[in-house]
Every structure is written in C-alpha cells, then in structure tokens.
C-alpha cells in the first residue's frame, strides 16, 4: 500500500498543508454527499436479447478535443504538492498510461507559491502519450494569476489542457477561502483566448447549471465538466478538516448541489453540440455507460481512483479495466457498436417512465420540466427521509 497517511501538515506552506489534509480525509473519512444522489439510478438500459453485433466489434474508443482515447473514462483532477501526492500522481499516471485514458492533475496553485513542488506533479515522462490536464482554481484569476502564469503552468507540466475549477462553496466554507468570484467569466474568457491548449471548466461536485454551461462555451471554453453532486462532497471534506462551529456550517451543505445526471442532461439539452464531460459520483462501469448514453463526451472519476491508488498501480488498473469491461458489455447488450450508437440508442429509459432527453422539441421541454422537478424532489424528499 502506498504510504499516504500520517502527513497532516506541511512545513512549507498553507496550500500544501491543506492538500495533505484533503488527501488524508478523503482516504480515512466518510466524505460522500448525504441527502443527494447522482441521479444515474433513475435510468436503466432496456436489455437487447438479440444484439445485431458481435461483442468483438464493440469499441469504447473515442476522440475528444483531438485526443484519441481507449475509453470515455478519465481520472479527474486530484492532487500534487506533497510527497504523498507525488506517489499518488505516479500511480495514477502509470494507470492512465496503461489504460490509454486522460489524467487530471491537482491544483497547480502550489507551484506558483513553491515552484520546487514541481516533482510532485511531474508525470509527463511516466505517461508520455495520455492527455494530461493541468488544474487551477478559477478564482485565482481574480487574485493576480495571469494568462501568462497559466501558460507557464501548462508548460511546466507538459499539459495538454488547462482545467479551471469552480469551487465557490468550498472557498466560502474555508476560513482562509478565496471568495472574490465577481467578474470571473471575463477572465476565464481571456485565458481561453490566450492559451495554446484547450481550457476546460469544471465544478468540484456541486454541478454547473445549463445557463452557465452555455455561457462558458460561448466564452471560448473548449469543454465543460458539469462535476455534479452525489459523489465526493467537498463540504463534507471541509467539515472533517475544520471542526468547531465551522463544521456545523459545512454539514448544512452535505446534500447541496445539482445531481450529476440532472446537470448533464440539462447541459446536453442546452448545448447539443458542446463538448461536455460528466463527473461527480460516477461509481461503476454502468454509471459510465449511462453518462455516455446521456451525452457525456468524457466521464470523470476521482475518489474511487484515489482509494485504489492507495493500493498501488495494479489495483488502479484493475478498477479501470473492470469498468471498461462493464461499459463494453453494456454496449453489447444494448446493441451499441460504438459510443455514438450508445448515445443515440433508444434503450436508455427512465425507471419512472419519464422522458430521456432527446432531439425533438417536445422531449426537450418535457425533460427540462422533469429535471427541475427532479432536483426539487431529490432535495426535499431525501431531507424529509433523513428527518
């Protein structure tokens, strides 16, 4: 098992200390969202008893942003900046290289403060051909980080894209948080226009609503990861980290956020041709299949890969391979030869018989009404169930 526990703080900086705490808490505590689920369970595939294809013909390969990938699955942005993070990133990079999938690195903000932390992110040589995603909190653009700094970070990491994360709630819960979000969209637009690599925007587990997805795509962002609720909850992580009255404030948000499947369907309906990723609470190969069928171009996973990484590369690769197989077999049993056929398949149905977002206007309007009432229903009924 990779040694990751025991480092509670780092002598060289507050950001590293927070990152070490985040790793430890994610590995040792229950950080799952409570009172909200991803919404993937609302869907199931109508089994095809007689697929008109051979299993061997099924391909999970995809091309996104010019990248050739073996599967829509990718490892979402997590860590960097500490010794433990370096070991985790090495395992994740070996996994991504072995599986042929994209890999997100954790926030590179620490590199702006302590360039000597670079080795904890430096995985390019381990995974020379996979798309490598650099990451930074978008709010840093309001705190003096320039387009030039972003370009420098991308360059230092040998990254293929820059992911800017939106984490307003997390920052609001942190006593030391950066909460000056006003005017950020314009700055994101400036960075997107100036970088030589694609800029992707993601949340961290509370979802991005359809109006913002279209706003971000209109601003020149290459892809949006809706990163919805139902998986790792950063208010729960902060609850464990903070203690005292601040922990009570954080606890109030355990069920906050737009369920991932709801955020995804709304985003896909609002931006039929946009590049949209889904992540947040993806916990099985079937979740990957449902998200792909609902229109996700890529499907990201963080927490499960972190927990597997603690057991080393083989455990991580095994997790990925199992999910690949589940996706492939689900495609076979819906008669879907490739991901575009899965996406256009009529075999994805809602458990409650409601509409699955489709191309025609009636379905589109109905699905919007449905997803809005879903959102309300999920929050209200689950809160009631807890009480």
Ligand X SMILES: Cc1cc2nc3c(=O)[nH]c(=O)nc-3n(C[C@H](O)[C@H](O)[C@H](O)COP(=O)(O)O)c2cc1C
180-186-190-196 Cα dihedral, nearest 10 degrees? 90
Indicate the residue among 84 and 367 with the shorter CB distance to ligand X.
84
Tell me if 316 contacts ligand X by CB under 6 A: no
Q: Classify the C-alpha dihedral 86-166-367-220 as positive or negative.
A: negative
What's the residue count for the chain?
Answer: 387
Q: How many residues bind ligand X (CB under 6 A)?
A: 25
Question: Binding residue per annotation — 34?
Answer: no
Q: Which stretch binds ligand X (CB under 6 A): 57-65, 91-99, 122-130, 295-303?
A: 295-303
Site for ligand X in 177-236 (CB under 6 A): 202, 204-205, 227, 231-232
Q: How many CA atoms lie within 13 A of 335 on its CB side?
A: 12
Q: Could you say which of 60, 89, 135, 313 contacts ligand X (CB under 6 A)? A: 135
Stretch that binds ligand X, among 248-256, 296-304, 317-325, 339-347 (CB under 6 A): 296-304
247 annotated ligand binder: no
Q: In the Cβ-directed half-sphere of 207, how many Cα atoms lie within 13 Å?
A: 27
Least distance from ligand X to the Cβ atom of residue 349, Å: 25
Helix, strand, coil percentages in the chain from 3-state DSSP, rounded to 5: 50, 15, 40
Nearer to ligand X among residue 78 and residue 356 (C-beta): 78
Distance CA 359, CA 240 (A): 44
Q: Does the protein bind ligand X through residue 292 (CB under 6 A)?
A: no
Are the beta carbons of 10 and 82 closer than 8 angstroms? yes
Residues pairing with 202 in the sheet:
165, 225
Smallest gap, in angstroms, from Cβ of residue 232 to ligand X? 3
108 known member of a binding site: yes
Three-state DSSP at 350 gives strand
The annotation status of 124 as a binding-site residue, yes or no, is no
Q: Toward ligand X, which CB reaches closer, 91 or 302?
A: 302
Q: What is the 3-state secondary structure (H, E, C) of 108-163?
A: CHHHHHCHHHHHHCCCCCCCCCCCEEEEEEHHHHHCCCCHHHHHHHHHHHCCCEEE
Q: Residue 37 interacts with ligand X (CB under 6 A)?
A: no
Give 31 or 333: the residue with its C-beta nearer to ligand X: 31
Question: Under the criterion CB under 6 A, does residue 22 sit at the interface with ligand X?
Answer: yes
Residue selected from 39, 198, 274, 280 as contacting ligand X according to rule CB under 6 A: 280
Q: What is the CA radius of gyration of the chain?
A: 20
Residues at the site binding ligand X, with contacts judged by CB under 6 A = 22-23, 26, 76-79, 106-107, 135, 165, 202, 204-205, 227, 231-232, 279-282, 301-303, 306
Annotated binding site for FMN: 76, 107, 135, 202, 232, 281-283, 302-303
Annotated binding site: 18-19, 76, 107-109, 135, 170-171, 202, 232, 281-283, 302-303
């Amino acid at each position: 098992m990779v040694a990751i526990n025991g480092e509670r703080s780092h002598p060289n900086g507050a950001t590293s200390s927070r990152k070490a705490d985040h790793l430890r808490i994610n590995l040792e505590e229950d950080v799952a969202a409570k009172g909200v689920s991803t919404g993937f369970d609302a869907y199931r595939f109508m089994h095809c008893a007689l697929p008109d294809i051979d299993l061997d013909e099924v391909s999970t390969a995809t091309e996104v942003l010019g990248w050739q990938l073996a599967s829509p699955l990718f490892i979402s942005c997590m860590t960097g900046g500490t010794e433990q993070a370096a070991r985790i990133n090495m395992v994740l990079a070996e996994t991504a290289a072995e599986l042929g999938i994209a890999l997100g690195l954790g926030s590179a903000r620490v590199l702006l403060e302590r360039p000597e932390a670079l080795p904890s992110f430096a995985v390019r040589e381990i995974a020379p051909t996979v798309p490598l995603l650099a990451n930074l909190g978008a709010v840093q653009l309001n705190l003096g980080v320039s387009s030039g700094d972003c370009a420098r970070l991308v360059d230092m990491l040998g990254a293929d894209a820059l992911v800017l994360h939106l984490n307003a709630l997390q920052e609001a819960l942190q006593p030391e948080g950066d909460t000056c979000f006003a005017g950020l969209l314009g700055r994101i637009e400036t960075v997107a226009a100036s970088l030589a690599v694609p800029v992707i925007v993601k949340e961290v587990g509370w979802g991005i609503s359809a109006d913002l997805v279209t706003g971000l795509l209109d601003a020149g962002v290459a892809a949006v990861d809706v990163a919805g609720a139902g998986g790792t909850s950063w208010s729960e992580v902060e609850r464990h980290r903070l203690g005292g009255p601040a922990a009570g404030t954080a606890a109030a948000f355990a069920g906050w956020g737009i369920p991932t499947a709801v955020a995804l369907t709304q985003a896909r309906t609002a931006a039929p041709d946009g590049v949209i990723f889904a992540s947040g609470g993806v916990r099985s190969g079937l979740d990957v299949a449902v998200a792909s069928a609902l229109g996700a171009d890529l499907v990201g996973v963080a927490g499960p890969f972190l927990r597997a990484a603690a057991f080393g590369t083989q455990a991580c690769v095994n997790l990925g391979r199992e999910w690949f197989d589940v996706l492939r077999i689900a495609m076979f049993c819906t008669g879907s030869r490739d991901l575009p056929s899965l996406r256009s398949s009529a075999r994805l149905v809602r458990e409650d018989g409601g509409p699955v977002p489709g191309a025609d206007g009636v379905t589109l309007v109905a699905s919007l009404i449905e997803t809005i009432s879903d959102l309300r229903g999920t929050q209200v009924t689950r809160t009631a169930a807890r009480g």
